[in-house]
Amino acid sequence: MLRKIYNWSSSWTGTIIIVLSIIFFIAQAFVIPSGSMKNTLLIGDMLFVKKFSYGIPTPTIPWLEIKILPDFNKNGHLIEGDRPKRGDIVVFRYPHNPDIHYVKRAVATGGDTIFLKDKELYLHPK
C-alpha cells in the first residue's frame, strides 16, 4: 500500500494534485507589495500564509484567480472559522480589484469604532 502511494505521489499527476491541494487549502506564499508595514515587514519580504486560519477558503487557482468552486456562503469560505483579532497580519483581496492581494495588520475588529484626527488613529473605547 505504501509503495502504491509513493509511486502515485512521485508521478506527474500525483505531484500536481498534491501541490495544488497545498496551495488551495493549506498554505500559500506572498510577497509584501508595499511599504505600509515598514516597521515590521519590508517591501519584497516573503511570507507563507496558513489559509485555514480563519476557515477553509473557497479554492482558486492562484496565478489565474479562477474559482474552482462557487462561493456558497458569499464570504469567501467553504467553512467559516475564527475571525481575525487585533494585531493579526491578514492577507485579503482588494475589494475594487480582486486580483490584488493586500497584506496588512488588523487594527480593529467588527463593532469597533475608529477615526483619524491629525494623522493619529483612534480606536473606541481605548
Active centre residues (catalytic): 36, 104
Amino acid code (one letter) for 84 = P
Helix, strand, coil percentages for the chain (3-state, nearest 5): 20, 35, 45
C-alpha cell, 68:
474552482
DSSP state of 110: T
Distance from C-alpha of 99 to C-alpha of 92, rounded to nearest angstrom: 10
Q: 78 by DSSP, 3-state: which? A: strand
